[in-house]
Amino acid sequence: MTPERTKTPNQGYVYFGLRGTFDPEEITSRLSIKPTSSCAKGARYPERGLPKTSQWEVSTERIVAECIDVYELADQIVTKLEGNARQIKDAIAELDLYAVLQVVLYLSTDDGVSTPAIGFSNRVLEFLAMVNASIDIDTYILPDKTDTEIDSAAPTKQCDELG
């Protein structure tokens, strides 16, 4: 018997990242914010290999849902960082860092699944302008899956649970 086909939900997350040649511990200390992930240039990390730049990131969780609201995910990141906007701006300038708000979306090809709401509030745009950060959006197409293949490790939310 063929497994029943279920809808393949969208997946996505947003993170604010700093890149350059720096000690990630110094950024953590300057900002008094614990990153979701970080690594130093040239250090060996089993899951990342040998990074070409240092990286410091604050990320949302990976959302698995029929509808993903990038507005809300970006606001979550800015809420965590905006109290330290001056320190972030100073670190970027003093250490010659590249700053980005990164949106990563895995899009379903199912006709019954909504496309993500992609946009940014004025608050997010003002924060990014203040710290001199750019926006980058990466999109990937998800393959169709049967109900036994859905990524069970990622948290699943319904549309009404977002926000």
45 belongs to a structural domain: yes
Q: Say which DSSP state 29 is in.
A: H
Instruction: Judge whether 116 and 107 are in contact, CB under 8 Å.
Output: yes
**149 domain-assigned:** no
> How many CB atoms are located within 10 Å of the residue 44 CB?
10
SS3 138: strand
**Sign of the four-CA dihedral 42, 46, 49, 52:** negative
Cα(43)–Cα(65) distance, integer angstroms: 35
Cβ(42)–Cβ(134) below 8 Å:
no
Number of domains the chain is built from: 1
Residue 72 backbone zone (phi > 0: left; psi -120 to 50: alpha; other: beta)? alpha
- Domain span holding position 17: 10-142
As a whole number of angstroms, the distance between CA 145 and CA 9 comes to: 10
Is 5 a member of any domain? no
* Residue 147 domain flag: no
Give the span between the Cα atoms of 38 and 61, in whole angstroms.
16
User: Digits of tens for pLDDT over the chain (163 positions)?
Assistant: 555 557 789 999 999 999 999 999 999 999 999 999 998 887 776 666 677 889 999 999 999 998 899 999 999 999 999 999 999 999 999 999 999 999 999 999 888 888 899 999 999 999 999 999 999 999 999 887 654 344 544 544 433 333 3
CA separation for the pair 146, 3 (Å, rounded) = 6
The verdict on residue 40 lying in a domain is yes
Give the pTM: 0.82
CA angle 109, 144, 150 (to 5 degrees): 115
Domain annotation covers residue 65: yes
